[in-house]
Structure 1
């Protein structure tokens, strides 16, 4: 290695490449995934029919691939280039489910942990946030105990998501990894009742609060206190645990999100013959996913989009009807939620029950009010970077912090909390190098080529609507192997390594130019073979979207090396060339004829 001091202007040109090179930029899907799953990697392994390798790659980041393959809201798909160009995103979640269902062998699971470090952590809540924190901390050698009020694992993922979307055996199987590595579960134990929060702080070195939003919200419209009015959270919990709920034949559900859809579809399965879904938004603006709304309508749910509640009508203190009115606008000119209605456009729904699916809150009653700061919905106020509360040994993740909405986000918060707990107990800086946790914007810039085929998204097969409303059998049946390979083959493999495809030399020495030049800048060292391997063809510059002149940088390095070596090449093999030049210009090898007069 030759250590050389490069002139400022040479270093600045190298730094331009380091700062602008996109060779190390993650694909849009990976950067958008809160857990940074290598989507491009596993999707293309599926396309190559390397299924075992695919599930192994997924499990490097996700311990519940089968669950997420079914219920993840997949923000990654929203950033997919096929979605941008053709409105036909890759079926990323469904592909994850395919390999999880068919090739995820428990004997292949990573059950390794670091040596016990003598410190213990209490986690309140066995939902995805708490479970992820527990997994990460246990792997680092901590003794971890999860306290869960319910008698089952999964938290809101289990009692808030219907069984027809996520079979319970999938959750139990995937959560078994935690037990395999020594995480202790104390189910049916309610903090604040069976054990105090203060006692947890005394017994453990740190506490992670990861309770879900288990409190339903009911809007105080006229008649909201009638018998037969319920909230979505309690309804879904009871249905999830018992597959039963005492409701009438005609039901109204208020809300336009995915939870409202879950309530409406579950109501059909526990005996409701007629289900009305009422939401403020126009149908094409409903918060719920399009396919969720479509599947609900297939099952007979009647959608009243663009309507809001006027009053719940009662008879003998029981629900006897629900009057709704047309919504003309939802937000005011300042963008604040302030719905307006057409008082002349109303209609009455003949229903026996009304279920509110308009929001959820956190039950924080197990903590003294003065101990931790809280905000709207009972959520705890935390440091946004570390998730630490004003009690330095207490951290919060998931719904309890108000910073996550979907399962994959809750898991990312669990991981963030685990990192903070580990650093806190080791006395390390809890804020350093945390800018790429959770979802972030990639610095990748790619364009869809004109010749790119608009290949249609492969759809999974589903259970017939007439059959599925009769019970809680899984609706989505997933991909066949043929479908999975076809769908995976649509991936555009988003990356910027065009120069690497043109240059054999670069592939010999780096993953991308940024890596190579960054190392030179930081160390001042470079093996002479590297700059002398460049044949100055400039194909890398031609391919580079930013036209970086890498051959010029290599030539500058060569010149600097020659100068530092007293005008000689630093390559040992070049001594033969020096000898050839010396002899080639000597009198011994040259003849001269006198000029004619």
Structure 2
């Protein structure tokens, strides 16, 4: 049957609810990556086109190809039949294929402006902001206290999970847009915030949250405690690292998993992760958890720390109490409730709390009177502008 070229059809624009119901994988991605598109292109052998489509909305696509939590896969409809498509693995293939092929990335045509913007922090947020600003024509300089770009990806994620070449690839693309990087620059020390305000028309603060939140239990002054973020930073920057034979890690996130596997690589004999909820409440995916367990890390669920034990100022173990799950808390997860009389001890000479992190706002000038909310600078949710 021939199609009438003059036939008219009713066309209606779709809204967010339609996208959520019909393109759930793309809707699940924080940057809206067209994962269906690059999967189809890869299936046709059009690998470079697939790479371009995967890279287009994502300034840190190479890093995400290795360590993204893959919300697209959780939303994948194929999971209703058997298992989700390996979307992140395909992105990784496309990234590695592109790099191996030596094909240069196409750079956008930029109309320069006379505005200068400082970006504080060269992590994923800082790189993303720098790319958007540079693409719009602004003159961008990124400052970071670390010796290289990557932020949390550099000092918080081990190289066996995230090759440093992936960080280099993402940074190189931003640099080719004309963005300048100044490393080893601690704002508030080598460079003051006031100096940034004098030199630049605007400042984007992307400093991250790399300050460990102290574990508030008796005995936390004993020798042998290393907080997760500090532990991983030393390991990733090649600094001296003290790891005992028996390591206990508190927490259930990616930092806890990374600390456990890094401890084994630095000579630990027995490594335990203690988490106050159940396996199903862990924030890490099954792939990461499975790799951790296969390397010999012991998981202890439904237990909370009570006290760090020690002799002569040095850690000897940690006392815990077992929990049961009670009513859901504000996040929707069931709250752990201690079970009276269920205390137990795990021997340890190294304890690594990997529970929570906070932002370091000490470089911000007090006289500027930034509004702070729960340790974070308050911003307009629509523009991310501060009150200053």
Q: Please give the secondary structure, in 2, of the residue aligned with 1:138.
A: helix
Shift of 1:113: 3.9
Query: 340, 346, 351: which is aligned to 2:337?
Result: 340
* 8 A Cα contact 1:280 1:330, kept in partner: no
Instruction: State TM-score, norm by structure 1.
Output: 0.60
Partner residue, 2:293: 297
Partner residue, 2:28: 32
Partner residue, 1:269: 265
Range with greater deviation from structure 2 (205-214 or 332-341): 332-341
Structure 2 vs 1, CA of residues 92 and 304 (structure 1 numbering), >3 Å: closer, same or farther?
same
Structure 2 vs 1, CA of residues 180 and 296 (structure 1 numbering), >3 Å: closer, same or farther?
same
Structure 2 vs 1, CA of residues 28 and 243 (structure 1 numbering), >3 Å: closer, same or farther?
farther
Shift of 1:111: 2.3
- Distance across 1 between alignment mates of 2:14 and 2:258: 46
* 8 A Cα contact 2:277 2:336, kept in partner: no
Whether 1:121 aligns to 2:120 is no
- Distance across 1 between alignment mates of 2:310 and 2:251: 21
Instruction: Specify the structure having the higher radius of gyration (Cα).
Output: 1
* 8 A Cα contact 2:302 2:336, kept in partner: no
Query: 60, 69, 79: which is aligned to 2:56?
Result: 60
- Distance across 1 between alignment mates of 2:44 and 2:216: 56
Q: Please give the secondary structure, in 1, of the residue aligned with 2:341.
A: strand
- Distance across 1 between alignment mates of 2:195 and 2:282: 45
- Distance across 1 between alignment mates of 2:96 and 2:83: 24
- Distance across 2 between alignment mates of 1:148 and 1:23: 38
Partner residue, 1:433: none
Q: CA RMSD for the aligned pairs?
A: 2.3
- Distance across 1 between alignment mates of 2:20 and 2:145: 44
Query: 120, 143, 150: which is aligned to 1:147?
Result: 143
Q: Please give the secondary structure, in 2, of the residue aligned with 1:277.
A: strand
Partner residue, 2:83: 88
Shift of 1:296: 0.9
Whether 1:379 aligns to 2:379 is no
Instruction: State TM-score, norm by structure 2.
Output: 0.91
Question: Which structure 1 residue ranges, 4+ long, deviate > 3 Å from structure 2?
Answer: 17-26, 104-107, 330-339
1:406-485, aligned counterparts within 5 Å? none
1:412-561, aligned counterparts within 5 Å? none
Shift of 1:69: 0.9
List alignment gaps of at least 5 residues for structure 2: 1-8
Partner residue, 1:359: 356
The C-alpha deviation readout for 1:105-141, integer Å capped at 9, x for no partner, is 5543122341221111000000011101101111111
Shift of 1:359: 0.7
* 8 A Cα contact 1:30 1:36, kept in partner: yes
Q: Please give the secondary structure, in 1, of the residue aligned with 2:56.
A: coil
Which protein is richer in strand relative to its size?
2
Partner residue, 1:102: 97
Structure 2 vs 1, CA of residues 22 and 307 (structure 1 numbering), >3 Å: closer, same or farther?
closer
Whether 1:320 aligns to 2:298 is no
Query: 365, 373, 379: which is aligned to 1:368?
Result: 365
- Distance across 2 between alignment mates of 1:48 and 1:65: 21
Structure 2 vs 1, CA of residues 106 and 136 (structure 1 numbering), >3 Å: closer, same or farther?
farther
- Distance across 2 between alignment mates of 1:336 and 1:92: 28
Which protein is richer in helix relative to its size?
1
Query: 132, 139, 150: which is aligned to 1:136?
Result: 132
- Distance across 2 between alignment mates of 1:26 and 1:107: 34
Higher relative contact order (CA 8 A, sep 6+): 1
- Distance across 1 between alignment mates of 2:185 and 2:122: 11
Q: Please give the secondary structure, in 2, of the residue aligned with 1:343.
A: coil
Partner residue, 1:258: 254
Q: Please give the secondary structure, in 2, of the residue aligned with 1:36.
A: coil
Partner residue, 1:388: 385
Range with greater deviation from structure 2 (158-167 or 55-64): 55-64
- Distance across 2 between alignment mates of 1:333 and 1:49: 48
* 8 A Cα contact 1:113 1:138, kept in partner: no
